[in-house]
């Protein structure tokens, strides 16, 4: 190879890994921001809707909810984050990513249907994966937060994630 070719390869590799690093940082920050916004909105909605229930038993703080998580729910969180990360991996290879989304959409939806037993969550994830530029929405992680941190919220009930009411 010529000296110029080595410089071109080095620059290309450096650019690729720099882009990959920024996308990974964006993924992590995006998921954290989405979870924080979701937690804030869910807490506000739950507080407004559950006023009567809080009078009877007192409010349950987010810290209390986090403290009551079992190892199985933490494993489900890890799985949900992995599903979101796999869906976001289409950003790594421009052009190829949208083709990957077409293949990943049904797989991801099936996984979420199995994990959360919710057609609504599976449908939302399928649509998110199938549409362009929507991969940044962490549907799996938000479903986990809704089910485990805000199970009595209207969002959880609408998505079919709320605990079954005893008759």
Q: Is residue 135 part of a domain?
A: yes
Q: Is residue 67 part of a domain?
A: yes
Structure confidence at residue 1 as a pLDDT band (50, 70, 90): very low
Q: Is residue 166 part of a domain?
A: no
pTM: 0.66
Q: Is residue 104 part of a domain?
A: yes
The answer to whether the CB of 62 falls within 8 A of the CB of 39 is yes
Mean pLDDT taken over the chain: 77
Structure confidence by residue, pLDDT tens digits, 43-86: 666 666 555 444 455 566 666 776 777 788 888 988 998 898 88
Residue 74 lies in domain: 3-159
Q: Is residue 109 part of a domain?
A: yes
The domain total for the chain is 1
Q: Is residue 164 part of a domain?
A: no
**3-state SS, one letter per residue, for the chain:** CCHHHHHHHHHHHHHHHHHHHHHHHHHHHHHHHHHHHHHHHHHHHHHHHCHHHHHHHCCCCHHHHHHCCCHHHHHHHHHHHHHHHHHHHHHCCCCHHHHHHHHHHHHHHHHHHHHHCCHHHHHHHHHHHHCCCCCCCCHHHHHHHHHHHCCCCHHHHHHCCCCCCCC
Q: Is residue 141 part of a domain?
A: yes
Q: Is residue 133 part of a domain?
A: yes
Whether the CA torsion 70, 72, 75, 76 is positive or negative: it is negative
């Amino acid at each position: 190879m010529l000296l110029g070719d080595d410089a071109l390869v080095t620059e290309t590799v450096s650019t690729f890994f720099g882009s990959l690093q920024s996308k990974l940082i964006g993924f992590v920050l995006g998921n954290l921001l989405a979870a924080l916004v979701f937690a804030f909105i869910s807490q506000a909605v739950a507080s407004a809707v559950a006023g009567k229930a809080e009078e009877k038993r007192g409010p349950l703080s987010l810290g209390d909810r986090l403290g009551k998580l079992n190892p199985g729910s933490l494993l489900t969180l890890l799985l949900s984050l992995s599903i979101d990360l796999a869906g976001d991996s289409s950003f790594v290879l421009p052009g190829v990513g949208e083709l990957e989304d077409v293949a990943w959409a049904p797989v991801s939806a099936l996984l979420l249907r199995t994990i959360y037993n919710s057609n609504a969550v599976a449908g939302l994830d399928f649509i998110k994966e199938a549409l362009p530029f929507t991969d940044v929405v962490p549907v799996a992680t938000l479903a986990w937060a809704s089910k485990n941190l805000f199970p009595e919220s209207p969002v959880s009930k609408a998505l079919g994630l709320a605990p079954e009411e005893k008759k």
